[in-house]
Amino acid sequence: MTALDTQRSRTYADDRAHVFHSWSAQGALDPLVVAGAEGSWFWDENGHRYLDFSSQLVNVNIGHQHPKLVAAIQEQAAKLCTIAPFHANEARSEAARLITELAPGDLDMVFFTNGGAEATENAVRMARLATGRHKVLTTYRSYHGATNGAIALTGEPRRWASEPAMPGVVHFWGPYPYRSAFHAASDAEECQRALAHLDDTLVVEGPGTVAAVLLESVVGTNGILVPPDGYLAGVREICDRHGIVFIADEVMSGFGRCGEWFAVDRWQVTPDLICFAKGVNSGYLPLGGVIISRRIADHFKDRPYPGGLTYSGHVLACASAVASIKIFKEEGVIEHARRLGEEVIGPELAKLKERHPSIGDVRGLGVFWAIELVRDRATREMLVPYNASGAAAKPMNDLAAACKARGLWPFTHFNRVHVVPPLTTSADEVRHGLAILDEALTVADQHAAG
């Protein structure tokens, strides 16, 4: 064994002995030891390279180890690493200005957090205090983070083990044309019925008790559910009618993922609060936040905001956000993301759907796409049951393994593969990844009716 081999096995052994991983039965884990990354690729300790079709957790929007972003962090580290949240600081001020310049309407203040969950927690706190109301409406098939409030807001199985969590959360159905909760036959019908359902939910909950409606502008992990045209505008109108705060969770959908700075831009809708994290600085350092409308910010002009974090507006993290936003602008990252979606991913996925009987639906925008796998296109029976684990999840696990064996790191969730590489991935790299997926999908086809 060489010294290098000893170090490698030491890393793995220390991980297994001492690192407690998220969302996992610790005994069942066999983590890849990642040695390095560049652009849209990362590699393990043995030099096996993977094209990153997951952007890790759909956060490395700018790609791995962008030299200008690394340099900006190094420069800031040499100048000033950290300062208490009550001081002002150049990097924090500039990050807040740049982010609010990008945000729609009168959203012109930022409360910085360390990530997405703290953003949704604080957005809800702001909405409750600003309205004097208590309830929060969020959709089934959503994820909003794993802290006590954020997991309560979440509309999927990751919430179950934490119940009862924060009281006052009511879940309702959002639009999902492929599996419509409203038996809708078209996008327009889905939009109209989903809005009527939200109206009905408010009638029975009492609109005067509802502080906020919180939505992922485009639902991420739970299926890349792109709302039909008119839905977000309709939610905006319903919130206005009842004095309810509209919170857009753009933790995954924001910062270019949907080919826009914020997904709401596509429909020209202005929420009252936008939660962000992930793509704001591609996770080079932990950072998130809430972009706050003037009206809600003013609520806390003469009364203190009862919330805070030691690392709110962390200097290094803010410097990385500043650098990242500048790189996006200089390199046309948003435009590239939009083109990748329209010219490469969308058309290529449509071709895959023609070839593979296991593909029931493909959908998405920008660099945010889902392939939904079924056993039967006619009945739309899912390739694996909802929330499957163990043997029941085997077809999906086999598909993921087939991708990895060919050098592609996929993002899978339930019966779906999401195509979510860094926004900076080249068209050729995307085509290379999709060609691997094409081969690997034969594994799923074995379970599908012809």
Ligand X SMILES: Cc1ncc(COP(=O)(O)O)c(C=O)c1O
Interface residue list for ligand X (CB under 6 A) = 57, 115-117, 120, 143-145, 216, 220-221, 249, 251-252, 277, 288
Q: How far is the CB of 237 from ligand X (least distance, A)?
A: 23
Name residue 293's beta-bridge partners. Answer: 107
Residue number, 264 or 448, with CB nearest to ligand X: 264
CA atoms within 13 A on the CB side of 10: 7
Nearer to ligand X, 234 or 283 (CB): 283
Select the residue whose beta carbon is closest to ligand X and give its number.
116
Report, in Å, the least distance between residue 277 CB and ligand X: 5
Nearest approach, Cβ of residue 266 and ligand X (Å): 16
- Tell me how far, at minimum, the Cβ of 198 lies from ligand X, in Å: 19
DSSP string, 391-434: GGGHHHHHHHHHHHHTTEE-EEETTEEEE---TT--HHHHHHHH
Report, in Å, the least distance between residue 418 CB and ligand X. Answer: 11
- Pick 274 or 444: Cβ nearer ligand X: 274
Distance from C-alpha of 42 to C-alpha of 79, rounded to nearest angstrom? 30
Total number of residues shown for the chain: 450
Residue 309 DSSP one-character state: -
- In terms of CB distance, is 96 or 117 closer to ligand X? 117
CB nearer to ligand X: give 230 or 254: 254
Nearer CB in complex with ligand X: 338/418: 418
Residue 34, number of CB atoms within 10 A of its CB: 14
Whole-number minimum distance, CB 419 to ligand X, in Å? Answer: 16
Omega prior to 164 cis, within 30 of 0 = yes
The torsion defined by the Cα of 243, 249, 255 and 261, in degrees rounded to 10, comes to -30
Residue 115 or 234 with smaller CB distance to ligand X: 115
Smallest gap from Cβ 435 to ligand X, in A, equals 28
Sign of the alpha-carbon torsion through 67, 37, 260, 342 = positive
What is the spatial distance between Cα 289 and Cα 307, in angstroms, rounded to a whole number?
13
The alpha carbon of residue 337 and the mean position of all alpha carbons in its chain are separated, in whole angstroms, by 15
Residue number, 35 or 309, with CB nearest to ligand X:
309
CB-neighbour burial class of residue 17 (10 A; exposed 0-12, middle 13-18, buried 19+): exposed
Residues with Cβ < 8 Å from 414, sequence gap 6 or more?
Answer: 382, 384, 386, 387, 388, 396
Shortest Å distance, C-beta 220 to ligand X? 5
Pairing of strands 381-382, 368-376: antiparallel
| CA dihedral of 431, 436, 442, 447, whole degrees rounded to 10 | -90
Q: Which residues of 324-347 are buried (b: 16+ CB within 10 A; e: fewer)?
A: bbebbeeeebbebbbbbbeebbbe
Please state the closest distance from residue 355 (CB atom) to ligand X, in A.
Answer: 30
Residue 117 vs 448, nearer CB to ligand X: 117
